[in-house]
Amino acid sequence: MRKLPVKLASQLYGAAELIAERGLDGTKIEDIAEATGIPKATLYYHLEGKNAVLEFLLTDLLEMIAGAVGIAIASAESARTRLETAVTAQLGVMLEHPFLCRALVGDLGRATRLPDLAVALRAAFFEPIEQLLTDGAADGSLRQVTDPSAVATSIFGAITVAGLSAAVDGPLKEPSSEAVRLSAAISDLILDGLAPPGTRDALES
C-alpha cells in the first residue's frame, strides 16, 4: 500500500470533498471511483479498502501540519514567539485544506482507530505544543503552569477546534489572511487570558 504512484495520489484528492460532505460511510467506493476517475479495480489494486483512502488523505494532512509547525518552532526566537508562529502555521494549513479537515472531523473516530494515524495526530498537533510549554518555562517567555499536560491539551483543543470550525463553516476566499486573524485571536486568549488587566491572581485558594 505504501508507494502509491504520484498520479493516483493526486487524483485521490478528488475524493476529499465527497468524504467531507457525506462521511466515509455515506460514500460508496463506486462514488470515489467516479469522482477521482480511478476505476474501482485499480483502487483495490493499490489500496486495501475504503479506510485506506481516508488514511492516505489524512496522513497527508497531518504531515503537512506537522511539517509547517515543525518549521515554525525550529527558529531561535523565544518560546512565546514560536508558540504564536506555530498557532498561525497550524491554522494556515488547516484553512488551506478545508475538505481534508472536514473529513478528519467527520471520521475522527475512525481516524483514532487507525493506529498510524493516531500517532501522527499526536505528533502533528499535541507534542509540539507540549514542547513549547516546556521551553517557555525554561527561557522565561512563558509562565510555568501547574499542569502542563492538561494545558497543552487545552491549547491543542483551542487551536484545532477553531480551525476545524472555520473549515466546516465553509471554504474561505482568503485562507491565509483568515488564518492570521484567527490565530491572533487565539494567541491573545492563550497568552493574556480573559481576566481584565490588573486582576491577575493565583486561582487556587
Which residues sit at the interface with DNA, rule CB under 7 A? 5, 7-8, 27-30, 38-42, 44-46, 48-51
Q: Shortest distance, CB of residue 6 to a second copy, whole angstroms?
A: 29
Considering only CA atoms, which of 106, 116, 69, 90 is closest in space to residue 183? 90
Count, residues near a second copy per rule CB under 8 A: 58
Grid cell listed for 105: 472531523
Q: At residue 105, what is the residue type?
A: V
Q: Which does 177 bind (CB under 5 to 8 A by kind): DNA, a second copy, none?
A: none
Per CB under 8 A, the list member of 1, 10, 25, 138 interacting with a second copy is 25
Contact between 88 and 179 under an 8 Å Cβ cutoff? The reply is yes
Considering only CA atoms, which of 154, 21, 184, 173 is closest in space to residue 91? 184
The number of C-alpha atoms within 13 Å of 181 and in the hemisphere containing its C-beta is 8
Q: Which does 117 bind (CB under 5 to 8 A by kind): DNA, a second copy, none?
A: none
Q: Which does 109 bind (CB under 5 to 8 A by kind): DNA, a second copy, none?
A: a second copy
* SS3 of 56-92: HHHHHHHHHHHHHHHHHHCCCCCHHHHHHHHHHHHHH
Q: Which does 110 bind (CB under 5 to 8 A by kind): a second copy, DNA, none?
A: a second copy
Binding site for a second copy (CB under 8 A): 22-23, 25-26, 80, 83-84, 105-110, 112-113, 133, 136, 140-143, 145-147, 150-151, 153-162, 165, 168, 181-182, 184-197, 200-201, 203-204
